[in-house]
Each structure stands twice: as C-alpha cells, then as structure tokens.
Amino acid sequence: MTASPRARRTPAASAAILVAVLLLFGAAAFVAGLAVGGSKAVAESDPSPSGAVSSDAATPGATPLLETVSCAQPSEAFAVLCETYAEIKGQYVDDVTDEQLVDGAVRGMIEYGLQDPYSGYLTPDQFGSALDDLSGEFSGIGAEVGMKNLADPEDLEACTVVTESCAMVIVAPLDGSPAEDAGLRPGDQILAIDGTSTEGESVSSLVYVVRGESGTDVTLTIQRGEETSDVTITREVIDLHEVSSELLDDGVGYLRLTSFTDRAPGLFTDALQGLLDQGATSFVLDLRGNPGGYIVAAQGIASQFVPQGKLLFTVESDGNVQRWESETGLVQDESVPVVVLVDAGSASASEIVAGALKENDRATILGEPTFGKNTVQIWNDLPNGGGLRLTTDRWFTPDHNSAAPNGIAPDVVVAAPDDPTSTDDPQLDRAAEILTEG
C-alpha cells in the first residue's frame, strides 16, 4: 500500500477509482484494469470511450506536500539507491541516460518492491498509447488477462512476474473479439508470445508485447489443461458494446453487460427501461466473461435491483472503511425475480454486483465460481509522462466477505458447454426455467 495519507487524493484522483482484473490486450484504455487520474486532473480513462466520468469513490481532500528524497541528503534506506546511481554514472562501461535509470528504478520499485501483480508502471510511450485508446476504438486481440498462483491460489502476492507456478492467464475474451473468435477461454495460460517465453516478465510489460497495429498477427502459446498449442490471432480495431438486451419468452428480460465503463450505467438503465416497457416481469443479468471496470459503475448497476441498503465496503490503505449504499433503481421491488449468470471470467466489478445481489437476497446466482479479485486500483500520471497504477483499497461484500481468491460461489451450479463454439446455453436455459417456474 502507499505510505502517504489517504487525504492526498484530489477529486480527480477520487474519480479515478476503479475495480478490475488487470490489463486488456488493447482495450479502451484497459477495460478492466486501469483508471487514469492524479494530481494533474487527468480524466478517468479506463474502459470509457468518452474518457470522462464523475465519481465520489473516495473522500476528496486537499493534496498535502509529499516528503521528497534528495541524494544530497538521502534517508538511510535511499542512500543505497543514490550510491548505486552514482556508481553507474561514474563507472559503467556504456553510456546510460538518467531516463533509462529512472525508468528501471521505478519499474523495480513496483514489480519487486510491492509484491502486487495489480500495481504497475507504464513508460511515457505506453501511457500515451493507453490514453490514445480513449476514443472507444482500440487495436488488439480483445482479451483480459491476469495472474494466477497455480501452487497456492491464496498467495497471489508471491506472483509479481511469470514463473513456473505463477501463470499469466486469460480472464475473459471480449464478445466478438479476435481472441474469442480464436477460441481463447478463461483460464488459458499464456506460455509464450511470438515464441518468446513469458517467464520472468510482469503481466504489465507483456501486455504491450501482445498489443499492436490492426491487421498484424501475434502468436500465443496457450496451455489448456494438459494440452499446449500455438494460436495465431490477427489484431483488429475493436469497438465496445457494453449492453445488449432482449425480451425472451414468458416475460423474461435478458440483459448482457460486457464491461463496467463510465457510460455503462446509463446504457444499462435505458435497456432495462426498454424491457419494462415491453412487459418484462423477471430478469436475467448476464455477467459471464465481464472482467470489471469502474466501481461507481458497479454501484449504479447493482442499485437498479437492490433496494436501499449496503452494496459493498472498501477498506482504504489507512484503514478507513467506506460503505457504498444503493441508489435509486428501476427494479428494486423484491417481488420481481432476478437471476445473475456468472463464470470464471466474471471478475472484480462483476463480483461486486453478484455479491451485492446475492447477499441482499435480491437474486439467484447461477453458473460457475467467479474469478476472485477484491482489490481497487487508481492511476496517477507521473512527471515523466508515464503512469503509475497503484492498489489503494480492498473491497468486501455486504456481509464483509472477500471475493478473493475463490470468487463468488453460485447458488445454482451449471457448467458451460465444453465446446465454446456451441450454440447451446444450458446456463441461460436453466435461468429461464427458474424464473418461469416461479
């Protein structure tokens, strides 16, 4: 966690709070892994095409002056850093710039000092590329990735880089993305990128190896169970479609949400109202393969179904606890039945919504256990033009349970088809049965 007090968050930084898994391979600036903010009032950028959102996710306050460290009068701990810098500049055999050394030092502090796979550093070029993606169109393969400790799932802090036991895994491919078309599934391990092993690298750095211009190819070496195969994927320009809806038989309203962008709550409300106007009397909320996004978007969408009460708690780095309450909603009547569909690709903000509806007895959760992530990150811009993604909070369900590491357990377990190309949907079929059976 950060050593500086929580009061340092400016309103812009407060607005940058989000919940997500990690990094999207070419996302609308990281569909569920990053948010942009900080002392320079950079607008939140995570999944939103508009790149602007307002959130009161943390208590805003004046930004105090942070203690600075000077090599003229270094602290005892930083004396080692200053001495190393002096030795390199004075004696290293090749020329090296201050920018190179600072970049390496910052990356080392994050990747090795914090032991947190969800905190990370982007160089100025990488951060600029992330900001460019805020148009809502982005080039990549369209898949969310994360880190998994295969030996001890509860000890994710041990996995700062990819090792034999710490795997870079697919969390979820986006709907209609090249990754989905290529057959990638949640849980697939990425062993190599274009023939180069991922071992020894952080997920943050590997993401930018996978990303690239539309029309170019990237080959991923994937392990699924005991089988290993190479999958070549052509990068494309992808546009997000967060919400889709349909009125099914017997008055069942179906709503699919693919990401928690800043515009998702408004789109979701419009779709929900449209189904009500068509006569929907019960609802299926499909969060399968949804890797997350803004925490305030999760609050807004959960509020559509949960009457007045608590949705979640966040615990900040200084120990302060914030309670997130339900707001106004269209379907808060508890007599209206709801089923929420989840799977291993439902992460972060999806888990917030599933947990809130489950523990408020507002919905039946159906499918398979979710991904299992309960941390919150913010983005701060740095003086060199780079960006710092930092874990600042942990979130907990209304009953103070954690989604990490085992995820939200479904009330009704229904497995997905083994063949991802199958048109059969036993999970949706069972949800419709539950709603129509009363």
What digits encode the pLDDT tens for the residues 90-148?
999 999 999 999 889 998 898 888 888 888 888 887 777 665 554 445 688 988 888 88
Tokens of 209: 């190896």
| Domain extents in the chain | 140-238, 240-373+394-437
User: How is residue 42 annotated by DSSP?
Assistant: P
Is 316 among the residues known to form the active site?
A: no
Measured between alpha carbons, how far apart are the two ends of the chain, in Å?
47
Could you tell me where the beta strands, DSSP code E, fall in 96-248?
A: 120-122, 137-140, 143-149, 166-173, 189-193, 196-197, 217-224, 227-234, 236-239, 243-247
CA count, 13 A, side-chain hemisphere, 295: 32
Q: Looking at residues 163-180, what average pLDDT do you find?
A: 90
Widest distance between CA atoms in the chain: 78
Q: Which residue has the tokens 């807004």?
A: 300
pLDDT at 235 over 50: yes
Among 348, 350, 351, 368, the one annotated catalytic = 348
Ramachandran assignment for 335, one of left (phi > 0), alpha (psi -120 to 50 degrees), beta (any other): alpha
Tokens of 196: 């180069």
Q: Which of 90, 27, 3, 23 is nearest to 240 (CA)?
A: 27
What is the C-alpha to C-alpha distance for residues 93 and 438, in angstroms, rounded to an integer? 76
Is 359 among the residues known to form the active site?
A: yes
As assigned by CATH, the class of the 240-373+394-437 domain is alpha beta
List pLDDT tens digits, range 282-297: 999 999 999 888 899 9
User: Per the confidence metrics, is the pTM higher than 0.85?
Assistant: no
Tokens of 438: 């009363």
CB atoms within 10 A of CB 94: 4
Task: Return the pLDDT at 389.
Answer: 85
Q: Give me the architecture of the 140-238 domain, per CATH.
A: Roll (2.30)
Position 206: which residue type? L
Task: Return the pLDDT at 55.
Answer: 28
Is 358 among the residues known to form the active site?
A: no
User: How is residue 8 annotated by DSSP?
Assistant: G
